[in-house]
């Protein structure tokens, strides 16, 4: 599924689900790739789940104090970004022990070879030889997250597409072997936000773990930081505002950011900035980002200290545990275990 403006009429009976790792403040890429899509869809779907993937975060070393703070911060950010707690089940992955239980049953039906082919695993494990076993089995936990809730669509950035496709394989294999148990999920990827790129090296994705802070816009960056980063973004020497991912990745990335956050389109931007220079265009991009993030930040700081967050998590934990236990029991019975 790859439809920014997909008609809402065919979404009314659908369930959507996505999660984000609480490893540092989320980036503009996470916001555009996942959260903003959920905000768009929350009014038109039957059911929507958004969670903090804290068990995924610990597949790589984390500072416990920082992790703890990042988890609460992400819940507050979801709501500040426009996720309505009345229209979405907002929950913590680790509040629901059945995610890991379902994951184990699925791990036992997933070939080792299939997991070895995951590009994100190959990439992350090549950077550190002492990687954890969890880093390897992580995509199965992600499949469990999705399959427990019978999600139809999974709004993600393109970097997670392979993992959602793996979830489909896992579901299909289980259904074939043990009988119909899981719904087939589909990745839901918006056209414009497919991949927001690094500002200094627009050939790689904007990532929370980037070593150079000037290459990434974080949702909580100040106005001055955002302006400085966008004005310093790598472009090219052609001085023409034209979309061309291959030859002009920097400018194309900035255009993608704008069309993801506004009603502009690529042709309308090209027309608006015809004959203008990169400085003028960058200033416009910075204004768009500052306006969008400014609103989010105001709400975020109001929410952070409130106990509204604890109530939301408590209710969601109850609801999601009941759903996941049912799926876990169904799987156990089908696999021959005792319920």
Residue 82 in contact with residue 39, Cβ under 8 Å? yes
* CA-CA-CA-CA torsion sign (93, 189, 259, 251): positive
Residues 240/242/247/248 CA torsion (nearest 10 deg):
80
Active site residues: 124, 205, 208
Closest CA to 264 of 292, 222, 294: 292
Which residues of this chain interact with ligand TYM, rule CB under 6 A? Answer: 17-21, 29-30, 32-34, 53, 56, 142, 145-146, 154, 156-157, 159-160, 193, 195-196, 205-206
Query: Is there a contact between 229 and 214 (Cβ–Cβ < 8 Å)?
Result: yes
- The sign one gets for the Cα dihedral 256, 257, 261, 264 is negative
Q: Which residue is nearest to ligand TYM (CB)?
A: 33
CA distances 183 to 75, 94, 167, 289, 338, Å, are 27, 23, 10, 37, 24
Q: At closest approach, how far in Å is the CB of 286 from ligand TYM?
A: 18
Here the tokens at position 160 are: 């997670």
For residue 166, the minimal CB distance to ligand TYM (Å) is: 11
Least distance to ligand TYM, CB of residue 181, Å: 18
CB atoms within 10 A of CB 299: 15
* Alpha carbon of residue 27 to chain centroid: 10
Q: How far is the CB of 310 from ligand TYM (least distance, A)?
A: 23
CB of 167 to ligand TYM, least distance (A): 8
Give the residue with the Cβ less far from ligand TYM, 85 or 202: 202
d(CA 101, CA 32): 31
- Residue nearer to ligand TYM on the CB measure, 203 or 311: 203
Residue 154 or 269: which CB sits closer to ligand TYM? Answer: 154
């Amino acid at each position: 599924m790859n439809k920014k403006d997909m008609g809402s009429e065919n979404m009314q009976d659908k369930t959507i689900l996505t999660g984000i790792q609480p490893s540092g403040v989320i980036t503009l890429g996470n916001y555009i790739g996942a959260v903003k899509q959920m905000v768009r869809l929350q009014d038109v779907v039957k059911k929507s789940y958004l969670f903090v993937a804290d068990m995924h975060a610990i597949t790589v070393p984390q500072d416990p104090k920082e992790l703890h703070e990042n988890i609460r911060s992400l819940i507050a950010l979801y709501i500040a970004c426009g996720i309505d707690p009345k229209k979405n089940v907002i929950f913590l992955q680790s509040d629901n022990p059945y995610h890991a239980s379902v994951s184990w049953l699925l791990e036992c039906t997933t070939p080792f070879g299939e997991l070895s082919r995951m590009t994100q695993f190959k990439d992350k494990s090549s950077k550190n030889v002492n990687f954890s076993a969890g880093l390897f089995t992580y995509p199965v936990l992600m499949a469990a997250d999705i399959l427990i809730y019978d999600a139809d669509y999974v709004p993600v950035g393109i970097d997670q597409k392979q993992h959602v496709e793996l979830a489909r394989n896992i579901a299909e294999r289980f259904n074939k072997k043990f009988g119909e148990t899981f719904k087939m999920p589909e990745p839901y990827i918006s056209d414009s936000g497919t991949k927001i790129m690094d500002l200094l090296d627009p050939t790689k994705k904007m990532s929370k773990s980037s070593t150079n802070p000037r290459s990434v816009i974080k949702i909580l960056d100040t106005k001055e930081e955002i302006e400085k980063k966008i004005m310093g973004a790598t472009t090219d020497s052609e001085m023409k505002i034209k979309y061309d991912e291959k030859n002009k990745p920097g400018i194309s990335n900035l255009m993608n950011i704008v069309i993801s956050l506004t009603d502009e389109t690529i042709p309308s931007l090209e027309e608006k900035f015809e004959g203008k220079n990169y400085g003028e265009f960058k200033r416009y991009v910075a204004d768009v980002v500052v306006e969008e993030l400014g609103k989010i930040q105001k709400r975020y700081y109001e929410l952070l200290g409130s106990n509204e967050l604890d109530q939301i998590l408590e209710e969601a934990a109850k609801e999601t545990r009941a759903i996941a236990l049912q799926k876990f029991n169904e799987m156990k019975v089908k696999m021959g275990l005792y319920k």
